[in-house]
Amino acid sequence: MPAPSTPAEPDPLADPARIAVVRRLLVELPGSAPFDRLARLATRLLAVPTAQVVLLTDVAVRVGGSGRPIVLGSATPLDEVPGSVAARLRAPLVVPGAATDPRVAGLPAVLSGEVRACLSLPLVLSAGDVVGALTLLSPEPRAWAEDDVALAGEVAATVVTELELVAATLAVRSSLGRLELTLAASEVGSWERDLRTGTTSWDERNAAIFGLRGPVELDGDEVMAQRIHPDDHAAVAQAMQTALAGSGEFVVEMRVLRADGEVRWTVSRGRVVRDQAGRPVRLLGTTVDVTEARRQAQLRLAAVQRAAVIAEVAAALANADRMTDLAEAALRGAAVLGADASALAVFDGGHGPLRLHMTRRLVDAVEAGADVVLSGEGVELPLDDALPTQFVARHGEPVLLTDRAAAVARFPRMAEVGELVGVRALAALPVRLEGRVLGSFVAVWGEDHVFTPEDVELLGALTAQIGLSVSRLHADAQRDAAVAEMAAANARLELLAETGRVLSGTMEITEQLGRLAELVVPALGDWCWVVVTDEHGRMRQLASAHRDRARSAELADYVRAMVGGMTEHAAARVVTRTGRPLRVPGLDAAYIARALPDPVAREQLARLHPDSGIVVPLVSRGRTLGALGLYVSVERGRHSDAELDTALELGRRAGVALQQARLFGQQRQLAETLQRSMLTAPPAPDHCEIAVRYVPAAAGAEVGGDWYDAFVQPDGATMLVIGDVVGHDSRAAAAMGQLRGLLRGIGHHTGGTPAEVLTGLDRASTGLDLDVMATALVARLEQDDPELSAAQTRVRWATAGHPPPVLMSADGEVTVLDGVDPDLLLGVEPGTARNDRVAVIGRGGTLLLYTDGLVERRDRDLDAGVAELCRVLAGLTDVPLQQLCDRLLERMYLPDTEDDVALLAVRLHPQDRPRPAEAGPQRVPPGIAPSPDVHPEAGAG
């Protein structure tokens, strides 16, 4: 596996900065003489015929040499001279045999045989730059001794010294040139003071700073007394004393007095010169006139300060969320000019009215001096020219008033206002955005104030930023209002949608309106009530709701009292009578007394703290069925038009739902009455207790096809019937009535077995063209003497596609009587012969017949339902028969089941004891002989 490659090292000779240093040296070299001399010295010391000095830029340039002819200044590629190798190594290159040394073997001079050995040393400046090499060449191989390398190193160091001298000369010349240019460009004067004689000398530039023609020579006392501002004498003396005492540096800012009387600001810098004994003998220094620079700096500082204030104010304005906050923020900018207070007047929404928003100082002054009520909305101003605020907002022209007299002369009402809030000067500027006047900004001064152009510029910048912020607040307000309105509209739509869902979720009137009341609170009110009229026009309470659930009972008590005692003036009566909505803007004592004569009801209403309300009718098909009342407290505020419209729509939807619920209730009641009229009460023969139940489907008000029946045949046997006509409508109910009547007649007349009765029923319904399909199960309770003695009863049954009967013994064992597949449904093949099945029931046992609505559901098939039925029955062994039926329905029948349920349960009580009281008295049709009984007197009880 090959070793991983490493990146190539950069060539140190290719550094652009190093090459630039060498090129500057080449330009400044005084000639080749010093380098020729040092090359000859090297050849004599080391006894070699040739030595050369090369400087290395991107090529090798010979700048000196000795021996075989050397062409000075000639350029050779770097890779053809040994000096390049030594320069890259930054160490001596010692080559005894050039032909065999791979570092130099490929050089042209080595290949030609002219050079057989060489010694090359790099030339490195004190700054660390490798600038060239000193190379000694031998035409014969030579073993270089350590002394040879050391001697050559001494010569190379001398070459470096010569080069350093050239570099230093270059630096000094460059510095002097730059200094001279700097002094001339900056008009810096130089001076010198002889501390021994006290004489001060100035050059021309220094004299010009003092307004004199120079150069000049002055006595030291004259300089201090006549040429320096008296207020700066102490500072100059202190600076000089500090320099002389040890620091050696002299710096002082002072004002000079020019010969023409002008005062100029200068900065003087100096340095102490000492003699060999360390005594100060001279001060050398410079002077620069900084008057203009100082003035510009002050202007820049003022501009920066103002810009900082504007930036700070702009940030505050950008973050302000009220107009009063804008006025307070803008005052910070005006305070730079000494303003004491400010006010902002803007048109609401960009178009009247004009409202004034004041800073706290003005608010305090106004409230202390006048009967003015201020609010977060500001003070509404008339749009006239009486005061600068309105004038500027109306005409868009700035107004600057420098004193009280000017203010009163321009605006006479300023005499009154100025006295009130202490105004002497003011600036009022229009607040604009894209040429449109949004209002005005006013800054006031408690003293006279003269406005400079800079003042006007600052105030203009402030009002420009205020215009942006006012526009933003207007836009924010409009956006917030739009968002709020959209959110409110969405909430109202959601409320209406939820109302539709709630009202369609049940057909029970009380439950419907109770859900509606809870839905509209607190969406449309703090509390509400719903009242309806019955078929006789009487008002009755149906629902109420309070946003505080803990007060629901309190509200319900009030609504009951209201309904029971309100007069024709009450809102509920007015709305149900007229069918129109009613606003109740204020519940004053007079109105309440007219509507509620009962003082208890009035007291209950007062505790609910209503401020106002709305009452809307519950309407369906042009008929007012009731009213919905919604009430709010004063904190919430009165209902808007949109809320009233929403409440009206709620009333319409509730009215329709109420009407439908009433119709459904009437239809359901009629259907149940019809259904139950066809399901007669069962007999109570012998010690046999029969319990029946019928539950209509929850999905609608239609009558169904489920039925039960029990009757006694002429021979005393009890026939039990359970059936279910296919369908859940009035046609199914009619077919059920026909089948039930046919079955009763066939069973009673023929006295046949269950199979014979079902066969006869199937043929009769076909012959009578009933065109109906149904399931049915017929059972017959039979008992002979042996069975009577054994305390048993025989049950004989036949089925037409019906769920199997379930038998529960006295000791709780539950058995499904389903030995073979059930026969076909009635109406499928009328000629089919049906079969009887037989089982034995011990006394104390219970036989259960039922329709499929009890056990079948969408999530459960018939077998699973029958298994669940057996599990439930096993836990009801000792429960009386009537209670057993009720508990069975509670546990098995779901409230939202979409199928009817018919249930018939028979319990055979022991015949050697009196008939139990919970079974009721024995009851059989006239002419039916009682069954044999071991305990005859039981029939009487």
C-alpha span between 672 and 680 (Å, rounded): 13
- Only one residue has tokens 């259960």, namely 848
Q: Domain boundaries in the chain?
A: 12-172, 187-289, 298-478, 505-667, 679-911
Sequence letter at residue 937: E
How high is the pLDDT of residue 316?
65
Spatial neighbors of 706 by CB under 8 A, at least 6 apart, are 694, 723, 724, 725, 736, 851, 853, 900, 901, 902
Does this chain's domain 12-172 share its CATH topology with 187-289?
Answer: yes
- What would the CATH number be for the domain defined by 187-289? 3.30.450.20
How high is the pLDDT of residue 777?
95
C-alpha span between 741 and 721 (Å, rounded): 12
Nearest partner of 34 among 74, 66, 61, 78, judged by Cα: 66
Sequence letter at residue 150: A
- What would the CATH number be for the domain defined by 12-172? 3.30.450.40
How high is the pLDDT of residue 144?
93
Q: Would you say 332 and 319 are in contact if contact means Cβ atoms under 8 Å apart?
A: no
Question: Largest Cα–Cα distance of the chain, in whole Å?
Answer: 168
How high is the pLDDT of residue 321?
61
What does pTM read for this prediction? 0.40
Instruction: Enter the tokens of residue 109.
Output: 């001079």
How high is the pLDDT of residue 934?
41
Residue-wise burial string across 820-846, b where 16 or more C-beta atoms lie within 10 A, e elsewhere: eebbbbbbeeeeeebebbebebbbebb
Whether omega for the bond prior to residue 353 falls within 30 degrees of 0, making it cis, is: yes
- Full 3-state SS string of 911-927: CCCCCCHHHCCCECCCC
Ranges of the chain whose pLDDT falls below 50: 1-5, 185, 368-376, 701, 932-941
For residue 393, CA distances in Å to 348, 382, 509 come to 12, 11, 62
C-alpha span between 24 and 178 (Å, rounded): 17
Classify 505-667 by CATH class.
alpha beta
> Helix, strand or coil for residue 784?
coil
Classify 679-911 by CATH class.
alpha beta
Nearest partner of 629 among 552, 564, 541, 553, judged by Cα: 541
Spatial neighbors of 325 by CB under 8 A, at least 6 apart, are 316
How high is the pLDDT of residue 71?
64
Give the number of other CB atoms < 10 A from CB of residue 457: 11
Classify 298-478 by CATH class.
alpha beta
How high is the pLDDT of residue 502?
65
